[in-house]
Amino acid sequence: MPVRVVIVPGNGAGNVQQCNFYGWLHRKLHCPPAVVCALRNMPDPVRASEKAWIPFMRNDLECAEDTIIVGHSSGAAAAMRFCESYKVAGIVLVSAYTSDMGDSLEAASGYFSRPWQWDTIRGNAGFIAQFGSTDDPFLPWSEQQAVADGLHAEVHKFDDRGHFQNTAQPELLAVLQQKLKQLLAAQNESSEAAAE
């Protein structure tokens, strides 16, 4: 059974294949039959509403227990809320944050209307890795640190990546490749044990 990687973009991304690092990462990771990577334009892409995105992630992108969700910005908020209800193989959060920071569009998304269930998210995610940068023009480091503290995440902290909008993120790819290798090895061990 393949491991799924689902890339959930930030809001306002437009054509996600041509935006930020999403298309690059998709091309690097999509390697059937072992790894299947999904990247699709999201419904309600500007507001990124939780009511539209969480069902789309579950039903259309098929996020499930065999899935690593890579969430960027609003996609990171969606990944965290998704894990309050569903188990996944892991989440990789890029430019994650915990509040609407007084922005009306962020408030309208619905993600920040209630406290975060940190324990539940941790319990439902096989692993949690987080990428953040102290020079992010949209997110103060305190927001990103709050996510790291709440989730006890494996943090990859930079001071020169801004909001991670470059077209290539090699460190992100390296972490994902390591996690995929571990998951595929565990699958092989499980299959061999079942065959004995």
- Any residues with CB less than 8 A from the CB of 177 and at least 6 apart, and which? 29
With beta carbons less than 8 A apart as the criterion, state whether 139 and 103 touch: no
Tokens (6 digits) for 136: 């992010």
Q: Please give the Cα distance from 75 to 55 (Å, whole number).
A: 13
136 is known as an active-site residue: yes
| 26 counts as catalytic | no
- Determine which one of 49, 73, 109, 133 is catalytic: 73
SS3 for 183?
A: helix
Told to judge if 163 belongs to the known catalytic residues of this protein, a careful annotator would answer: yes
Phi, psi of 172, rounded to the nearest 5 degrees = -65, -45
* Closest by CA position to 83, among listed 27, 171, 144, 6: 6
Pick from 43, 53, 100: nearest CA to 78 = 53
Q: Could you list the active site residues?
A: 73, 136, 163
